[in-house]
Amino acid sequence: MSSLQRRFPRPRDLAPLMHFKTPELNAKKRRLRNALTIHDLRTIAKRRTPKAAFDYTEGAAEAEISLARARQAFEDIQFNPGILRNVSVVDTSSTVLGGPTAFPFGIAPTGFTRMMQSEGEIAGAGAAAAAGIPFALSTMGTTAIEDVKATNPNGRNWFQLYMWKDRERSMALVDRAAASGFDTLLVTVDVPVAGARLRDKRNGFSIPPQLTLGTVINALPRPEWWINFLTTEPLAFASLDRWSGTVGELLDTMFDPTVTFEDLAWIKDQWPGKLVVKGVQNLDDAKRLASMGVDGITLSNHGGRQLDRAPIPFHLLPEVAREVGMDTEIHLDTGIMSGADIVAAVALGAKFTMVGRAYLYGLMAGGREGVDRAIEILGEQIVRTMRLLGVNSLEELTPAHVTQLERLAPRAR
């Protein structure tokens, strides 16, 4: 027989145990507060965004193997923490390309951004300004260079350049970015032609959107997106004339497949600020760029959106950092979905990282507030990971903190 003595609880005993959480009546704030990871923001974004727009963000080239491998590479690591360190204070700031950043990541250049959510690049630039991180505007962006500068007047603004067949128009954009005080030019070099983005073809994704019966049915549960889309400025490229056709057709019409290292050297001579080459995918090219005196290279396979089965940037990182990291800054993108991914990249030699989809998931989930939440989530994860590793600053991170576990290894020839 149990000796446990029972009694009726007294109200004064229950009071300290029952603290009711104040309900959040604002639906947007409630859903963003409940999002604890970038994956949570993705779930919200998918629910609130029409399929064609969401798939443009989510999708990659062909079978989407490159993107899956890039994300898997970050999961296939082992952290090696130190213990009994004083980590009461952690500094996540650093100097990147001669300027400050509060975290070792910035917002990557993304095209058609107002298609994802009507606030578009203005939300991204404003959130970057508030967080103290760089914001990169794409050539294919849907907000003017000057408007991004007005939104982020005192922060780090970078401009991403695709070389077009019309060189004069390309360089006119570069001149506008320089005149607006953008401090860095990102020259993307992995798009001689458009990758085969099959989701877009299957969805009939075009600019402007083409309405079909399927599009209308898919839109019915997402009235806010359509109301915003129809009651704001018509979607147009900030840097281009209007276009009517698919994204792939646009890229193949505009982009110049003849661009060479000599053209890059010419661009470098025209640009007064820092120059980073984005889309580097092997060590030999990294060495050649370093010898040209570029300020940085970004290891990237374009988020898996160009050549499927392309090299995994995170796997390239250690070797490239060892060989050229003393001569030029090494940046990295593709596959980043958490602050722990960013910490791992920094430990293995990346000076800086860029997030594209992670930012867009936040944008689609809640506009400017959603981008703020995405940055907040990544920042919290960076700080927590650093503390658990036993480091106080980014400079203390070393390759010894990360072991890349082997899943895919080349066969002997």
User: Distance between CA 15 and CA 367 in Å, rounded?
Assistant: 40
Helix (H, G, I), strand (E, B) or coil at 136: strand
Per DSSP, the residues of 228-286 read: HHHHSSPP--SSS----EEHHHHHHHHB-TT--HHHHHHHHHH-SSEEEEEEE-SHHHH
Catalytic residue among 302, 315, 331, 401: 302
Torsions phi, psi of 333, nearest 5? -140, -175
- What are the helix (H) ranges across 280-328? 283-292, 313-324
DSSP 210: P
Per DSSP, the residues of 49-62 read: S-HHHHHHHH--ST
Torsions phi, psi of 99, nearest 5? -135, 165
Could you count the other beta carbons within 10 Å of the beta carbon of residue 375?
Answer: 26
Distance from the first to the final alpha carbon of the chain = 74
Please name the residue that has the structure tokens 């594209």. Answer: 356
The question of whether 315 is a catalytic residue gets the answer no
User: Distance between CA 124 and CA 134 in Å, rounded?
Assistant: 10
Task: For CA atoms 117, 363, 34, 60, give the dihedral sign.
Answer: positive
Cα dihedral value 55, 59, 61, 67, nearest 10: 180
Both tokens assigned to 376: 């907040």
Positions marked catalytic:
302
